[in-house]
């Protein structure tokens, strides 16, 4: 089965509390660009990440607020910031390093929030039924091309909200596969 490849750049999912600390009470993110997952978008507002070794400006904020703030970066970003983030699925933040997030004149330190997002497949219920997958099963994905790569042990996330099937990888993985 051929599926779309989604390349995820560094981004932040804020908690409601951290949204207030950075932008003030009653603030709402401004929709800038829709994402492939239903209802999700990248906001016009941006943040700067500050670690022990450096900063990364212009980091995307994603619309879906989370119970806990989550910062998703690449291995290359870890070197720039000076943090050692674990490879994790979204939401698994226990023991992850913290980071300072800046927006405008405000900044906050958020503990246990930085991860390298594990590559994963968002699968529609129909595709999961047809292919025999259940949520959290693992698949093998082959990215074809001049620099073909095989991604092993890719978790499959099955949900009603997924209206299509798509693998999500980060920029380091996309560059290794020679994707644009």
31-50 tens-digit pLDDT: 999 887 767 899 999 999 99
Mean predicted lDDT score pLDDT of the chain = 95
pLDDT at position 38: 67
CA distance readout (Å), 128 to 1, 118, 119: 12, 20, 18
Model pTM? 0.92
Per-residue b or e along 142-152, where b marks 16 or more CB atoms closer than 10 Å to that residue's CB: ebeeeeebebe
124-163 tens-digit pLDDT: 999 999 999 999 999 999 998 889 999 999 999 998 888 8
> With contact defined as beta carbons under 8 Å apart, do 62 and 12 qualify?
yes
> With contact defined as beta carbons under 8 Å apart, do 171 and 9 qualify?
yes
Of residues 159 and 94, more confidence is placed in 94
């Amino acid at each position: 089965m051929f599926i779309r490849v989604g390349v995820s750049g560094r981004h932040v999912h804020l908690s409601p509390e951290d949204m207030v600390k950075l932008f003030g009470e009653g603030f709402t993110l401004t929709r800038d660009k829709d994402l492939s997952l239903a209802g999700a978008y990248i906001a016009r507002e941006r943040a700067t990440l500050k670690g022990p070794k450096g900063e990364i400006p212009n980091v995307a904020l994603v619309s879906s607020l989370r119970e806990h703030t989550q910062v998703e970066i690449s291995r290359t970003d870890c070197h720039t910031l000076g943090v050692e983030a674990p490879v994790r699925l979204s939401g698994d933040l226990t023991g992850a390093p913290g980071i300072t997030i800046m927006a405008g004149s405000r900044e906050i330190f958020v503990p246990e929030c930085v991860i390298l997002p594990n590559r994963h497949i968002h699968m529609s219920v129909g595709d999961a039924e047809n292919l025999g997958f259940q949520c959290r099963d693992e698949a093998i994905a082959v990215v074809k091309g001049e620099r073909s790569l095989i991604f092993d042990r890719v978790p499959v996330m099955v949900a009603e909200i997924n209206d299509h099937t798509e693998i999500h990888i980060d920029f380091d993985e996309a560059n290794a596969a020679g994707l644009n």
